Structure formats: C-alpha cells, structure tokens
C-alpha cells in the first residue's frame, strides 16, 4: 500500500528516514506535487506551462531525505563546446536534452523540477519554445522566459539559466 502525505506527516523524522528508498522516492513526488500552486483556479492560456509558486516544505523534505539539485546554465553547446542544432527548434531540444543529462547524472528528472528560467534570443519563438518545453516537462514548474539580445556565443538561441529539482538521498 502506497503511503500518503498524511502518513508521512504522522511519522517522526527518524521513522520516515528509515523507510525504504522506493517509498521515500514515491513520497517525494507527492510532496513536490503538493507544493505546486496557482494563484487562481481560472483556466488560462498558461495551462500546463508553469505553476505560479512552489511551497518548499522543509519538514517533509527532511523526512524523506530530499536533496535540492541545482543545474548550471545550459545551452545547445555540447560538453565539447560545439553547438548542437542548426535551427532554433533543434537548439531548444538540444538545450533541454543537455539539462536532462545533468538531471539524470544527479539522480533526478524533469518531473521533479520546481523552478526553471530560460533566456531566448528571439521571443517571436515563444510558441515554438512552449511546444518543445511540453515534450520535456511532465509537471509544470515555476518558470520564467526572458528575452535577451545575445548569449555567450553569437549563434546560440537559448540558455536554460536556472533549473532546480529534487531527489531522495540514500
């Protein structure tokens, strides 16, 4: 039987931390989902793109031994410095794939991202970004997309500047 947040709240810290990793992992997903919030219940154009806020419940995170993962700024450039993608769409996917690789190396995933900040060199591609974004983001984090006139290398179309996620520590 899967534990609920009410079950977690009833446990002492030591009891919760003694739970098997798989149970703490499932509880982390519930904690993150519970922490996502919206200012209003009114359906809007942003549905599925982002949440308005995230409540970081330190007590629950402590109980499941959650660790915050902070990703570095990521562009379509590979670890070798060579840019991936000829079009903006290819660059967007490459940047998200690079973040995905970082999240996996840190033992987490896009489903546990709670904050994301993106810089775009062409805000006319807003809908294109959202199309690619939806391919990678199963749960909408707090998000900001900021237009800029340039990034570190001239041909870069995107940089994912900030990405915070969580994982369970063994």
Q: Domain segments of the chain: what residues?
A: 5-168
Tokens coding 46: 């942003």
- Average per-residue pLDDT in the chain? 93
**CA–CA distance, 22 with 117 (Å, rounded to integer):** 30
pTM of the model: 0.91
5-168: CATH topology is: 60s Ribosomal Protein L30; Chain: A; (3.30.1330)
Enumerate helices (H) and strands (E) in the chain, giving the number of each. 6, 6
Tell me the average pLDDT across 4-22. Answer: 98
**CA–CA distance, 12 with 112 (Å, rounded to integer):** 24
Characterize the bridge pairing of strands 113-120 and 53-54: unpaired
Tokens coding 18: 């003694």
Looking at residue 45, its pLDDT comes to: 64
**CA–CA distance, 90 with 84 (Å, rounded to integer):** 7
User: Which DSSP letter does residue 48 get?
Assistant: T
Q: Give the C-alpha distances (Å, rounded to integers) separating 135 from 54, 84, 96, 138.
A: 22, 18, 9, 8
Tokens coding 16: 């919760």
Residue-wise pLDDT for 84-111, tens only, equals: 888 999 999 999 999 999 999 999 999 9
- 64-74 as b/e: b if 16+ CB within 10 A: bbbeebebeeb
Question: Could you give phi then psi for residue 43, rounded to 5 degrees?
Answer: -65, 135
Look at residue 46 and tell me whether its pLDDT is greater than 70: no
Look at residue 152 and tell me whether its pLDDT is greater than 90: no
User: Which DSSP letter does residue 106 get?
Assistant: T
Looking at residue 63, its pLDDT comes to: 98
Query: In angstroms, how far is CA 49 from the centroid of its own chain?
Result: 12
């Amino acid at each position: 039987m899967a534990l609920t947040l009410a079950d977690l709240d009833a446990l002492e810290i030591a009891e919760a931390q003694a739970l098997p990793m798989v149970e703490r992992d499932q509880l982390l997903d519930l904690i993150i989902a519970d922490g996502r919030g919206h200012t209003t219940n009114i359906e809007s154009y942003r549905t599925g793109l982002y949440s308005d806020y995230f409540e970081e419940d330190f007590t629950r995170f402590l109980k499941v031994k959650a660790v915050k993962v902070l990703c570095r700024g990521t562009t379509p450039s590979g670890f070798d410095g060579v840019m991936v993608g000829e079009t903006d769409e290819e660059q967007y996917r490459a940047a998200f794939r690079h973040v995905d690789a970082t999240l996996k190396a840190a033992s987490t995933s896009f489903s546990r991202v709670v904050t994301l900040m993106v810089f775009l060199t062409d805000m006319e591609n807003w809908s294109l970004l959202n199309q690619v974004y939806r391919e990678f983001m199963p749960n909408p984090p707090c998000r900001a997309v900021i237009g800029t006139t340039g990034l570190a290398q001239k041909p870069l179309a995107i940089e994912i500047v900030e990405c915070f996620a969580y994982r369970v520590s063994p």
